[in-house]
Structure 1
Amino acid sequence: MMLRFFCCYAFAVTQQNFFKNTMIGGMAVMQKTILSASIALALLTGATAHAADTDALLKRLDELERRMEQAEQRARQAETQAQQAEQRARQAESQARQAEAKSLQGQTKTKQAQIQARQAEIQARQTEIQARQAEVQAQEVAAQEAAKAKAAGGPEFSFKGYARAGFLTDEEGNGVKGVGPYMTPAGNLGGPIGRLGVEPDKYVEAVFDSKITHESGAYSKYRLMIADGVLTNNDWTADDSDLNVRQLFAELGNLQSFAGSGTFQDAVLWAGKRFDRNNFDIHFFDSDIIFLAGTGAGIYDVKPTENWSTNVTLYARNFGTIEPTNDEVQSYILTANNYVGPWQFMLSGMWAADNGDRKPIPVTDAAESGVHLMLGYNQPNFYSYSQGFSKTGILYGQGLGAQVKVLGSQGDLTSDAQSVRVYTFGVTPINDSWRIAPAFMAQYSQDYYYKGDQYTWASLNLRLEQPITQNFLMAYEATYQYQDLDTGTNVSNLQPNIKTKASGNVFKFTIAPTFNLDTSAGFFQRPALRGLISYLNWSDDLSGFNYGQPPNTDPQTGETTFANTGWTGTDHWLFGVQMETWF
């Protein structure tokens, strides 16, 4: 029994060691050696045992061996799985290293791209700097060349101009005549209506200037201006052209001879044929307030005091050949035009030798002299109310000066002729969508053409503009003109059956859809491309009045017409298009 116990104990110990070795992951060779020793010991000790016990032991040993093989198989599988897990771990580690390498490569590429972008930016800045340097050098070279040209007496040329061109037709498609801002009977006295929609003419002015600046700063300027005006719509107008030279003069400024003189420091000398530099007009009437022009000489910008500037000019004009002497009468206009702050005071004297020899005017003689005065107030705002500008003034003329607008231009005035004219106009925006330009002129004259005549007229014009888009606007113009005209009794004694009195009103309304470059630039943005629709209405009493001359009549009906238009009745429609520009 002791021997059996020992064998069983040896078997148990062997089995326990086996499982320990298996759990620890021992080697198969050691497991087999221990097992073989255990079996041998059991056989030696069991030789004396009972046969039944031997069979039972063998079965147990077989079962034990089977279990050991299964355990060994599981151990191998576990080892394989461990190896696979280790391989997967190594693969994961390899992939992680590859991802890290790619990330580093990406970061490197990003940094390289950033460096390249910065290099490109630096190159662009260097190119810009080089371009600026080249531009500055070019400007310096141009300035040097200009200075050399000035020092060498080289001329600087400039070109300016004004032009308008359009056509008008009535409601029947007929052309028009005698139509314009001075189309009413009062137009003979300088009484205008608003110009928008009543100008069918084609008129152009081209001004060419050549200026030479001396190295001392003194300069000379030469100007040539040519102009032409026709009514025909044809492209070839040689047979109808009035092409002529309207200005031809030279001036000198910044003269060293005047340097250091407070009065003449900025004086400008001129001589030739010209429009006076300080003429100004009411654009919406196409009417000058003062138009001083002719051939002569003068000096501008004399400053007796710091706040007082004066211009002194002498112009000569021609009245043409007079009857019955056939003499060519010439008139002269001496003017002092003064500016003190916003105030303007102008004094002109005029004379024309032998003008009184023209065909006698009833009861009196033609004027051979005259005087003209103007007082104006010019504001850099709209009557101190809003932004814009405004001008207001009064004019008085006697004798030859009774033609208060175009000084010294009219010789058929009586020696007693007198005229008083007032004017005011301005421009201002109402808001972002509307702007307004009111204008008013009125005049009273007596003993003008004939002793005892009296003429009164007043014109009120309102121009509105409504910008619709950046390049399109709607323009509206409304005019009211009142006139009371009386040639006096001396004409009726000289010309029987002549209409000597007329009184009434004229109304005009125009709509003009207009295109230009920038409608926000104000009233004076040009060029302007316009469509025109106008309606005119007048008092019937104004038809047939012609200042002591036989009235104009319709050749078919014999009816008297409205001024020189050939229109009978009391109203008319006009349609047309127009371009107007200046630069």
Structure 2
Amino acid sequence: MQKASSWLLAGVLSTSVAIAQADTLEERMSAFEARASAAEKRAAAAELQTQALARELQQIRLTNPALQPAAPTAAAIPTPTLDARVEKLEARQQSMEKQGGTEHLTDGFSFKGYARSGLLIDEGLGGGRGGPYITPAGSVGGAVGRLGNEDDTYVRMDLSKEIYAQNGTRSKFTVSIADGVETANDWTANESKLNVRQVFTELDHLAAFKGNSVFENSTLWAGKRFDRDNFDIHWLDSDVVFLAGTGGGIYDVQMNKDWRSNYSLIGRTYGDFSKGGIDANVQSYILTSNQFFDEGQWQWMFNAIGSKKNDFGTRTNQAGLTPADSGLHSMLANHQKNFFGREGFFKTALLYGQGLGAEVKNIGSDGELISDARALRLALYGETPVAPGWRIGPSLLAEQSKNRYVKGDDYRWLTLNMRLANEINSNFEMAYEVSWQTMNLDPKGYLQRNAVNGNFWKFTVAPTFKPDVGDLLTRPELRVFASFMNWSSDLDRYSTSGSFGKTDFNAGGVWQYGIQMETWF
């Protein structure tokens, strides 16, 4: 550090002699700034000083003509002022380095997570049945309202570590660990599904891209991850679109002022299949283009999916047909930062897929689809205040798909859901949810499922405590609830393996009660 300081001060003093050395001074100042940034990252307690340091360096550039493209005469350069400021900054950096010493584990470390856990009790004091995909339509993605309808414990933890290089490049490593169980016991090792869901590294603020208007703000990544721009309807616990797998890509390629682009190539595995005693690992590959326009208000996503080993000789899906070996998927979405001119937000998405792309939510995840498969889905949802102390979150999710797994099969369903909250005081609100779903499903015997046509509806009341009211998405929430569900008796015939149709869980009306926490940060 002392040697570097001498170089810097020598550069500063030389500006008073020859303007021609201004570029050298600027390079040394840039190097000094990078070292200061690295030192600050090693000293978490000096974060506020980092901001002050950045302001000091900016002020130096503004007040020192030697650092500007059109330099004045040497006499016009305020060398004493510059020297004094550099000495001050050098002293401050040394002080921060003494405070930080060597890099600490917590420097650049962040922890994010999501969790829910609670009891679901039926009216006979037995274990309740629930989940957003409880209905027959849930087998093809038809979610219903989740409030008062969850019987599991799920947790996901995202751990990240950021490191800055001296040239200003930032690297970020992230690992996500998740688990989900339905037992209420404290020790659930036998039921655990503990899993590493993400492990990837990003590089941004790349020094090599500095000054390049297209790539300067881009982020490179590789590894196993969820796509950064996935988005969901929280009230239904359903992603609108979910792209995930292992691969790599680049985010935020700035094509022009109002247009940025993401590109990626990721892989997924459909499973191991045996042919002639040889195991073949069947992979699918998803090439993605994600375009954003008008500050992200409009989004056009296109995916091309290929899986050549998913279509060979004796390989068949569970209906006895040869599955697709390719597919296309596209989504047009609009992200409004208000609710039709009111406070809140509103999102709209139209999705289409064919072949392996006919699973329009979890892109490329279903290897059972046949080449004739077609699907069209519409998603609408948002949140806004409707009166003093009242907020509403409406949503609509609907899909029609044909020839998914069997030629001639037909799946049609539509969900309407409304989450409503009434603020009682600063920490307590009454939450309500109404959910209705209609479906007409004809699976043509796939997985021994029967054709059904009917409706499902649910109403939930949930007294809720939270840190602050005024937003439906504020967490954590601690809630108790009571839910009433009912459905058309025809739906009990859909499948012998589903929840509906059991002797203690069939049409006619079911009350369920519970207590739950939900949090994210």
TM-score by length of 1: 0.70
Structure 1 residue 518: Cα displacement: 1.1
1:29-85 Cα offsets, whole Å, 9 max, x none, are: xxxxxxxxxxxxxxxxxxxxxxxxxxxxxxxxxxxxxxxxxxxxxxxxxxxxxxxxx
Given that 1:361 and 1:414 are in contact with CA atoms closer than 8 Å, whether structure 2 keeps it comes out as no
Given that 1:397 and 1:404 are in contact with CA atoms closer than 8 Å, whether structure 2 keeps it comes out as yes
Could you tell me which residue of structure 1 aligns to residue 288 of structure 2?
Answer: 335
Q: Give the aligned residue type for 2:204.
A: G
Q: Which of residues 368, 372, 387 in structure 2 aligns to 1:416?
A: 372
Matches within 5 A, 1:145-544: 155-177=107-129, 179-322=130-273, 326-341=279-294, 342-357=297-312, 358-359=315-316, 364-382=321-339, 384-488=340-444, 491=445, 500-520=450-470, 522-544=471-493
User: Percent of counterpart pairs with the same letter?
Assistant: 46
SS in 1 for 2:192: coil
Give distance in 1, aligned partners of 2:352 and 2:317. 25
Structure 1 residue 361: Cα displacement: 6.4
Give distance in 1, aligned partners of 2:147 and 2:155. 17
Matches within 5 A, 1:102-117: none
Gapped regions of structure 2 (runs ≥ 5): 1-44, 54-92
SS in 1 for 2:367: coil
Gapped regions of structure 1 (runs ≥ 5): 1-135, 554-560
1:245-303 Cα offsets, whole Å, 9 max, x none, are: 11111010011111121111111100011111111000000000111111110000001
Q: Give the aligned residue type for 1:267.
A: S
Give distance in 1, aligned partners of 2:248 and 2:226. 11
Structure 1 residue 568: Cα displacement: 2.6
Could you tell me which residue of structure 1 aligns to residue 510 of structure 2?
Answer: 572
Give distance in 2, aligned partners of 1:146 and 1:214. 20
Given that 1:364 and 1:415 are in contact with CA atoms closer than 8 Å, whether structure 2 keeps it comes out as no
Structure 1 residue 323: Cα displacement: 5.7
Structure 1 residue 532: Cα displacement: 1.2
Q: Give the aligned residue type for 2:286.
A: I
Give distance in 2, aligned partners of 1:273 and 1:386. 39
Report which of the two has the higher share of strand. Answer: 2
Given that 2:317 and 2:368 are in contact with CA atoms closer than 8 Å, whether structure 1 keeps it comes out as no
Give distance in 2, aligned partners of 1:452 and 1:151. 69
SS in 1 for 2:387: coil
Could you tell me which residue of structure 2 aligns to residue 63 of structure 1?
Answer: none
Structure 1 residue 565: Cα displacement: 9.6
Give distance in 2, aligned partners of 1:219 and 1:422. 38
Structure 1 residue 176: Cα displacement: 2.8
Give distance in 1, aligned partners of 2:436 and 2:184. 30
Structure 1, 348-357 or 528-537: larger mean CA deviation: 348-357
Given that 1:150 and 1:215 are in contact with CA atoms closer than 8 Å, whether structure 2 keeps it comes out as no
Given that 2:163 and 2:171 are in contact with CA atoms closer than 8 Å, whether structure 1 keeps it comes out as yes
Q: Give the aligned residue type for 1:534.
A: S
Cα distance 1:242–1:145, how it changes in 2: closer, same or farther (>3 A)?
farther
Give distance in 2, aligned partners of 1:236 and 1:374. 42
Structure 1 residue 581: Cα displacement: 0.5
Give distance in 2, aligned partners of 1:151 and 1:252. 25
Give distance in 1, aligned partners of 2:341 and 2:216. 37
Give distance in 2, aligned partners of 1:538 and 1:571. 7
SS in 2 for 1:354: helix
Q: Give the aligned residue type for 2:479.
A: R
Structure with max Cα Rg:
1
Give distance in 1, aligned partners of 2:441 and 2:379. 20
Structure 1 residue 563: Cα displacement: 6.4
Given that 1:263 and 1:303 are in contact with CA atoms closer than 8 Å, whether structure 2 keeps it comes out as yes
Query: CA RMSD of the aligned region, Å?
Result: 2.5
Given that 1:422 and 1:442 are in contact with CA atoms closer than 8 Å, whether structure 2 keeps it comes out as yes
Given that 1:544 and 1:552 are in contact with CA atoms closer than 8 Å, whether structure 2 keeps it comes out as no
Cα distance 1:565–1:308, how it changes in 2: closer, same or farther (>3 A)?
farther
Given that 2:177 and 2:196 are in contact with CA atoms closer than 8 Å, whether structure 1 keeps it comes out as yes
Given that 1:183 and 1:565 are in contact with CA atoms closer than 8 Å, whether structure 2 keeps it comes out as no
Give distance in 2, aligned partners of 1:331 and 1:361. 18
Give distance in 1, aligned partners of 2:342 and 2:301. 28
Structure 1, 201-210 or 569-578: larger mean CA deviation: 569-578
Given that 2:260 and 2:293 are in contact with CA atoms closer than 8 Å, whether structure 1 keeps it comes out as yes
SS in 2 for 1:427: strand
Q: Give the aligned residue type for 1:505.
A: N
Q: Give the aligned residue type for 1:572.
A: V
Structure 1 residue 500: Cα displacement: 3.1
Given that 2:429 and 2:463 are in contact with CA atoms closer than 8 Å, whether structure 1 keeps it comes out as yes
Give distance in 2, aligned partners of 1:454 and 1:137. 61
Cα distance 1:373–1:145, how it changes in 2: closer, same or farther (>3 A)?
farther
Given that 2:269 and 2:284 are in contact with CA atoms closer than 8 Å, whether structure 1 keeps it comes out as yes
Structure 1 residue 552: Cα displacement: 3.9
Cα distance 1:195–1:412, how it changes in 2: closer, same or farther (>3 A)?
same
SS in 1 for 2:311: helix
Q: Give the aligned residue type for 2:238.
A: S
Give distance in 2, aligned partners of 1:193 and 1:501. 20
Cα distance 1:138–1:374, how it changes in 2: closer, same or farther (>3 A)?
closer
Give distance in 2, aligned partners of 1:451 and 1:360. 12
Give distance in 2, aligned partners of 1:506 and 1:145. 67
1:425-474 Cα offsets, whole Å, 9 max, x none, are: 01001122211000001000000011110110000000000010111110
Give distance in 2, aligned partners of 1:208 and 1:146. 30
Given that 1:442 and 1:459 are in contact with CA atoms closer than 8 Å, whether structure 2 keeps it comes out as yes
Structure 1 residue 420: Cα displacement: 0.2
Give distance in 1, aligned partners of 2:96 and 2:268. 40
Matches within 5 A, 1:111-130: none
- Number of residues paired by the alignment? 428
Cα distance 1:508–1:139, how it changes in 2: closer, same or farther (>3 A)?
closer
Could you tell me which residue of structure 1 aligns to residue 89 of structure 2?
Answer: none
Structure 1 residue 218: Cα displacement: 1.3
Give distance in 2, aligned partners of 1:323 and 1:436. 52
